[in-house]
């Protein structure tokens, strides 16, 4: 019987059951890690916290893929790290490891030849070696400064051969290490954003008002003596739902919004004889260009407004923005 015909014998429910069984085995493997995190885990954390260089992660095959992810997670959460392939390390890349670094090596068996080949060089450098293995009796575990046992009761693979539960356990313990380190370092959302400037969090925390505001001819503004009818045209043309009222030097005197329009119409103000300074809101909310866009969002939400005039230190208009500008920038 070939593989294709064998697959046809499985019902949909049988396939679902196999998937659930694999997940259950992996969950059991993760549960086995919790009571093992103790003094050795704390020592591994101390090594990383005291490291003056970088944490160099290495591993072969599936462990290498997991190692790459662990290195990326460490690097993005405040612990400088990178991945080195152990095979390449034997052919020159070992020079990437310095005496100020620490090494994190992953090998479920603890007997991976490519890693064991570079262990003497690591030891000669006096570099601390943290080992993730499934065997405390392995050569890698015995040679390590700190050994973390990541062994699992069984692989999710029914042949108990393909790395499945063991790689999940290694990944989870790597995440535990990264999380403990970021908390110990006092790593903040702002720090995370600086490592992820292209992500939504980066945009929310690093973008400034000046990066999204409208400038020049796109900024709605009129003089105080401007007739209400002309002021309404300015509001409509610029599409921000408001206009600033400014003096001859562009100092902000007030703003005019749809709320001001409703109040003016309620008292039957004449569109042609009423001046903008008679219907504007004085003491309007403004914002500086170097203010974080996230703060502008908070200001709008607090005062229930949808647009802001941007001013410099002398209260001169330099721009304007509304909630739609912030939405397009991914801040809202």
Which CATH number is 209-328's, of 3.40.50.10860, 3.40.50.410, 3.40.1050.10, 3.10.580.10?
3.10.580.10
Report, as an integer, the average pLDDT of 259-285. 92
pLDDT of residue 135: 95
Report, as an integer, the average pLDDT of 98-110. 96
Return phi, psi of residue 103, to 5°: -115, 135
pLDDT of residue 331: 75
From residue 310, alpha-carbon distances to 124, 235, 284 in Å are: 60, 16, 11
pLDDT band at 125 (very low <50, low <70, confident <90, very high): very high
pLDDT of residue 192: 72
Q: Encoding tokens for residue 315? A: 């209260």
CA–CA distance, 21 with 12 (Å, rounded to integer): 14
Q: Encoding tokens for residue 302? A: 């607090």
CA atoms within a 13 Å half-sphere pointing along the CA-CB vector of 161: 1
Task: Output the CA torsion sign for 23, 25, 27, 33.
Answer: negative
Which residues, in sequence order, are bridge partners of residue 18? none
Report, as an integer, the average pLDDT of 296-303. 91
pLDDT band at 8 (very low <50, low <70, confident <90, very high): low
Quickly list DSSP for 186-234: T--HHHHHHH-TTSHHHHHHH-BHHHH-B-GGGS-EE-TTSBHHHHHHH
Res 1 pLDDT > 70: no
Res 134 pLDDT > 70: yes
Domain locations along the chain: 11-187, 209-328
Quickly list DSSP for 132-195: EES-TTSHHHHH-SEEEE---S--SSTTS-SSSHHHHHHHHHHHHHHHHHHHHHT--HHHHHHH
Q: Assess contact for 230 and 208: CB atoms under 8 A.
A: no
pLDDT of residue 275: 95
Res 22 pLDDT > 60: yes
Res 4 pLDDT > 60: no
Q: Encoding tokens for residue 286? A: 């403004």
Q: Assess contact for 65 and 120: CB atoms under 8 A.
A: no
Return phi, psi of residue 223, to 5°: -80, 160
How confident is the model over 307-329, as pLDDT tens digits?
999 999 999 999 999 999 988 88
Res 32 pLDDT > 80: yes
pLDDT of residue 180: 96
How confident is the model over 166-183, as pLDDT tens digits?
999 999 999 999 999 999
Quick check: helix, strand or coil at residue 253?
strand
pLDDT of residue 199: 60
pLDDT of residue 169: 96
CA–CA distance, 135 with 148 (Å, rounded to integer): 9
Report, as an integer, the average pLDDT of 250-254. 95
Name the pTM for this structure.
0.66
pLDDT of residue 166: 95
pLDDT of residue 122: 94
The overall average pLDDT reported for the chain is 91
Q: What percent of the chain lies above the pLDDT cut of 70?
A: 92
CB neighbour burial string for 307-330, b if at least 16 within 10 angstroms, e if fewer: bbbbbeeeeebbbbbbbebbeeee
- Residues shown for the chain: 332
Res 198 pLDDT > 90: no
pLDDT of residue 196: 60
SS (H, E, C) 71-104: HHHHHHCCCCEEECCHHHHCCCHHHHCCCCCEEE
Report, as an integer, the average pLDDT of 2-15. 72
Which CATH number is 11-187's, of 3.40.50.10490, 3.30.365.10, 3.40.190.10, 3.30.750.200?
3.40.50.10490
């Amino acid at each position: 019987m070939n593989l294709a015909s064998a697959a046809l014998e499985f019902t949909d429910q049988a396939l679902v059951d196999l998937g659930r069984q694999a997940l259950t085995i992996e969950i059991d493997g993760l549960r086995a890690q919790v009571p093992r995190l103790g003094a050795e885990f704390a020592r591994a954390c101390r090594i990383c916290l005291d490291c003056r260089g970088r944490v160099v992660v290495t591993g072969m095959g599936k462990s290498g893929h997991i190692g790459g992810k662990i290195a990326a997670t460490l690097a993005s959460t405040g612990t400088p790290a990178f991945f080195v392939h152990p095979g390449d390390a034997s052919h020159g890349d070992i020079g990437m490891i310095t005496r100020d670094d620490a090494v994190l090596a992953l090998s479920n068996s603890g007997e991976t030849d490519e890693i064991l080949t570079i262990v003497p060089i690591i030891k000669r450098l006096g570099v601390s070696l943290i080992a993730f293995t499934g065997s405390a009796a392995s050569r890698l575990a015995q040679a390590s400064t700190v050994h973390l046992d990541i062994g699992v009761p069984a692989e999710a693979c029914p042949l108990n051969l393909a790395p499945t539960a063991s790689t999940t356990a290694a990944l989870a313990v790597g995440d535990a290490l990264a999380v403990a380190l970021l908390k110990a370092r006092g790593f903040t959302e702002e720090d995370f954003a600086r490592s992820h400037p292209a992500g939504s969090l980066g945009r929310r925390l690093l973008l400034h008002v000046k990066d999204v505001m409208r400038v020049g001819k796109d900024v709605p503004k009129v003089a105080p003596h401007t007739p209400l009818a002309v002021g309404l045209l300015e509001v409509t043309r610029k599409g921000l739902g408001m206009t600033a009222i400014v003096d001859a030097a562009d100092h902000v005197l007030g703003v005019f919004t749809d709320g001001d329009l409703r109040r003016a119409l309620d008292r039957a103000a004449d569109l042609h004889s009423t001046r903008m300074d008679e219907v504007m809101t004085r003491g309007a909310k403004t914002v500086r260009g170097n203010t974080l866009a996230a703060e502008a969002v908070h200001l709008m939400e607090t005062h229930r407004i949808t647009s802001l005039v941007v001013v410099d230190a002398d209260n001169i208009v330099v721009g304007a923005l509304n909630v739609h500008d912030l939405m397009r920038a991914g801040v809202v």
